[in-house]
């Protein structure tokens, strides 16, 4: 069983990465400002699913194969970058369309977007290939240790996103304004495109 100090050290190591604005936070802001705090739930669940997917791949050794194959790594990186750019362009286009009249959100859209944004992010995979080995013990079952670290990672991410959800909810009156929603949508679109271009370039 992994030592609690190892878990604490892992969380301290990834805290700056979590605090750095990325696709998950961008999607959260977009969905919460357009549909209220209930829309945070699928985004958070999708983010957690993506983290567990990377942890599972790391435990199975599949992520190592991708990271050690330049062709496979490049393919995953470009696929993820293309998805972020495409999502950004779609988000920008949606800000130019007239608002829907009481049309419910397509089920699972926030969840699916968050899952893909995380699964197709090779930097997220690199966390479990560069940081995790520093906090696990070779003498104990590797899968259980990785699962423990992934759960701690997921919980910290949930706290971070819920904190942002609460902050956005506090500004509910501002969030409800159509002009603010349109501005947030366009900022979100630009951020997603920049993240995609940056992912492809690095």
- Report residue 154: phi and psi, to 5°: -65, -45
User: Residue 199 in contact with residue 77, Cβ under 8 Å?
Assistant: yes
**pTM for the whole structure:** 0.75
Strand extents, DSSP E, the chain? none
Tell me how long the chain is: 202
pLDDT values of the chain reduced to their tens digit, one per residue, 202 residues: 788 888 998 898 888 888 877 889 889 988 888 888 899 999 999 999 999 999 998 888 766 766 677 787 677 778 878 877 887 888 788 767 555 544 445 545 899 999 998 888 777 877 887 788 788 876 777 788 899 999 999 999 999 999 999 988 877 666 556 676 677 677 778 877 887 787 677 6
- Supply the range of the domain harboring residue 19: 4-201
Which SS3 state, helix, strand or coil, does residue 104 take?
coil
**Distance (Å) of CA 201 to CA 66, 78, 127, 137, 140:** 18, 9, 19, 35, 38
Distance CA 186, CA 93 (A): 9
| Count of the separate structural domains present in the chain | 1
């Amino acid at each position: 069983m992994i030592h609690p100090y190892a878990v604490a050290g892992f969380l301290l190591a990834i805290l700056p990465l979590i605090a750095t604005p990325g696709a998950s936070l961008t999607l959260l802001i977009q969905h919460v400002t357009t549909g209220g705090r209930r829309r945070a739930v699928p985004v958070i669940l999708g983010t957690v699913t993506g983290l567990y997917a990377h942890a599972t791949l790391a435990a199975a050794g599949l992520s190592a194969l991708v990271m050690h194959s330049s062709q496979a790594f490049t393919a995953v990186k470009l696929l993820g970058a293309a998805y972020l750019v495409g999502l950004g362009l779609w988000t920008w286009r949606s800000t130019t369309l007239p608002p829907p009249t009481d049309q419910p959100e397509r089920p699972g859209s926030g969840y699916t977007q968050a899952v893909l944004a995380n699964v197709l992010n090779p930097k997220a995979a690199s966390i479990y290939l560069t940081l995790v080995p520093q906090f696990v013990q070779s003498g104990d079952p590797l899968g259980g240790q990785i699962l423990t670290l992934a759960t701690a990672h997921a919980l910290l991410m949930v706290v971070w996103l819920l904190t942002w959800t609460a902050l956005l909810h506090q500004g509910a009156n501002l969030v409800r304004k159509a002009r603010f929603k349109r501005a947030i949508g366009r900022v979100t679109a630009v951020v997603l495109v920049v993240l995609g271009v940056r992912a492809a370039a690095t």
